[in-house]
Amino acid sequence: MKISIIGTGYVGAVTGTCLAELGHQVIFVGRDQKKLDLINSGNSPIFEPGLEQLLRKNQERITTTTDLDDAIRKTELTFICVGTPSQDDGSIDLQQIRDVSITIGKSLGSDNYYHTIIVKSTVLPGTTETLILPLLERESEKKAFVDFGLASNPEFLKEGTAVDDFFRTDRVVIGVNDQKTNEILEKLYRPLNVPIFTTTIRTSELIKYASNAFLATKISFANEIGNLCKKMGIDSYEVFQGVGLDSRISPHFFRSGIGFGGSCFPKDVRALIAHARDLGIEPQVLDAVMRTNEDQPAQMLGLLKRHLDISGKTIGILGLSFKPDSDDIRESRAIPIIEALRKEGAIIIAFDPVSMDNFKQLFPDIRYAKTVYDVLHSDAILIVTEWKEFEDLDYRGKIVIDGRRISKAREEAAIYEGVCW
């Protein structure tokens, strides 16, 4: 199939490259020529393990353009993968969705071909049918589900393992309203040989939010129990090992510590909270999930202060990205932790294998270590991201406060505190 991918961010770049690997011709549509040039020269526009290799392998099936109209005309299928960032009140900003819907609509109206539009960007239930569809119909003067196809197909990829997640996903969710679009999408995903769950467009949109909100809830729950464990001298990881053996619960996403960050969980839970309030529902569980998450970094600081008067001391930060194998620092727990440490007069030296340049944009005036070893000379070390290489360091004689459970630090440090264990 010939496919346009609008957006070269993490969702677009991974989806497009993986679809090329499945044998499709892919046109990436973006506004940033630098990113498109990277793709054209076989370089990944985002840091994602395995992506660049796949991009190079499928180079002959991949092209790029800034001209959305042209891409639509040359393809049968378009995936909308543009960002839906948070606004100040937590609600989502749909400007990019609006802009591309108008352009796609105009393009659909100017010719007589059949085209299918698939919304992969995370949007609240109803957005595809009450915002995107009317814009497409208005601009094209054509009828959705008759003259062109429209569907929702949320993504469930995790940064750091996104390529693997694409090919080995637990399920593909398709929200459709007509048989033709359903058949096109089933044909597209059949080679993955994974369960395909087909539902309505609105339900599909909510499955995305409910999935992320549930995973975030699991983490905040693990952190609340973990805080209790800490007070009682119990290891929360052992607790959740036991809990997770119950097949109704599952052992995943119970890693307690300093909480979740990233571009998805905080944004999506906040958007769902704002949407619930708009609908007159008080989202008590989701509110608590966010509050617990926002409080976790303070647990780390509290533990540090038990062992050190931090004013004027050098505190080493291991890890700045929101999770390992990613250079993404959006909503990273390192941000509130470093802000709080600085407020208390600490001198920061930080290290991250890949995200120091990104972090410098936010915190230009903290010290960045040349090598990970420089961090080890600090008065105390805080482990904020569980990069694999932190398992190889020599923690003997050190004060370590661990937010992510690095076994070697736990075994070796002179003074060791796990946030939830």
- Which sequence positions are flagged as catalytic? 264
The window from 172-180, 259-267, 354-362, 390-398 that contacts ligand UGA (CB under 6 A) reads 259-267
**Which of 166, 189, 237, 260 touches ligand UGA (CB under 6 A)?**
260
Question: In this complex, which beta carbon is closest to ligand UGA, that of residue 75 or of residue 263?
Answer: 263
Query: DSSP label at 408?
Result: H
Question: In this complex, which beta carbon is closest to ligand UGA, that of residue 255 or of residue 398?
Answer: 255
Beta bridge partners of 119: 80, 152
Q: CB of 265 within 8 A of CB of 216?
A: yes
**Which of 22, 213, 264, 383 touches ligand UGA (CB under 6 A)?**
264
Q: How many other CB atoms sit within 10 Å of the CB of residue 104?
A: 26
- Residues 166-195 close enough to bind ligand UGA by CB under 6 A: none
Annotate each residue in 213-232 with x if it binds ligand UGA (CB under 6 A) or - if it does not, as one string: --x---x-------------
**Which of 73, 158, 330, 360 touches ligand UGA (CB under 6 A)?**
158
Helices (H), 75-177: 95-109, 127, 133-140, 162-167
Comparing CA positions, the residue from 298, 214, 284, 278 lying closest to residue 252 is 214
If binding is defined by CB under 6 A, does position 318 make contact with ligand UGA? no
How many helices (H) and strands (E) the chain has is answered by: 17, 14
Question: In this complex, which beta carbon is closest to ligand UGA, that of residue 334 or of residue 348?
Answer: 334
Question: In this complex, which beta carbon is closest to ligand UGA, that of residue 55 or of residue 264?
Answer: 264
If binding is defined by CB under 6 A, does position 255 make contact with ligand UGA? yes
Smallest gap from residue 53 Cβ to ligand UGA (A) = 20
Question: In this complex, which beta carbon is closest to ligand UGA, that of residue 115 or of residue 323?
Answer: 323
Three-state DSSP state, 26 = strand
Residue 398 in tokens = 């050190």
Write b or e for each residue in 377-403: b if 16 or more Cβ atoms lie within 10 A of its Cβ, otherwise e.
ebbbbbbbbbbeebeebebeebbbbbb
The window from 251-259, 302-310, 369-377, 409-417 that contacts ligand UGA (CB under 6 A) reads 251-259
If binding is defined by CB under 6 A, does position 257 make contact with ligand UGA? yes
**Which of 28, 221, 254, 390 touches ligand UGA (CB under 6 A)?**
254
Smallest gap from residue 296 Cβ to ligand UGA (A) = 9
What is the C-alpha to C-alpha distance for residues 393 and 389, in angstroms, rounded to an integer?
7
If binding is defined by CB under 6 A, does position 270 make contact with ligand UGA? no
* CA distance readout (Å), 302 to 197, 298, 309, 318, 404: 45, 6, 11, 18, 16
The string of DSSP codes covering 336-391 is HHHHHHHHTTPEEEEE-SS-HHHHHHH-TTSEE-SSHHHHTTSSEEEE-S--GGGG
The window from 61-69, 98-106, 182-190, 257-265 that contacts ligand UGA (CB under 6 A) reads 257-265
What is the C-alpha to C-alpha distance for residues 184 and 182, in angstroms, rounded to an integer?
6
**Which of 57, 63, 91, 156 touches ligand UGA (CB under 6 A)?**
156
**Contacts with ligand UGA, residue ranges (CB under 6 A):** 155-159, 212, 215, 219, 253-255, 257, 259-262, 264-265, 322-323
